[in-house]
Amino acid sequence: MRVAEMTLVIKAPMDVVLREIADYSRTLILDKQRYVKSVEVLEDDGTTSIAVWRIKTLGFAFKAKNRQIVTPPDKQTNEVLTGMAKGTLETVTYSETSEGTRLSYRLELRVPWFRLLERPLAWHALRMTRHLLADDKRDIEARFGSASS
């Protein structure tokens, strides 16, 4: 298992940031086609959702089934249920700051069938996540940034 972490501040209220980041249906609305090819939501009860993602990484397209659990007001977890990184866990915690909402992202990457790939895949996954969250940050701040304070 490889662990990768990052933090990011989004200038918007925490409830808005959590709702927007956790919404699978808006993923393809943003400029994410460089990594995310499609997201098919299979189940969504408001706090737990299951989706099949097609992701392009390192020149290859992969499918993975993910379970996302949103625990308001401050946590979101994503677990990879199928695919080459089965067992991988992402945790995002949210906290209020004077500048807006701080996201703390932690990736516990597992590639059970080939551990030597864990280090480069963790690096690439963190890079991909930075780009995806930058898209989210830009969109959320443009729409809700003035609502914080």
Q: Sort residue 46 into left (φ over 0), alpha (ψ -120 to 50) or beta.
A: left
pTM to 2 decimals?
A: 0.85
pLDDT in tens, 104-130: 999 999 988 788 888 888 888 888 889
Give per-residue pLDDT as tens, 48-99.
999 998 887 777 788 999 999 999 899 999 999 998 889 999 999 999 999 9
Q: How far is CA 145 from CA 34, 136, 139, in A?
A: 26, 12, 9
Q: How far apart are CA 116 and CA 81, in angstroms?
A: 21
Query: Which two tokens mark 83?
Result: 């695919």
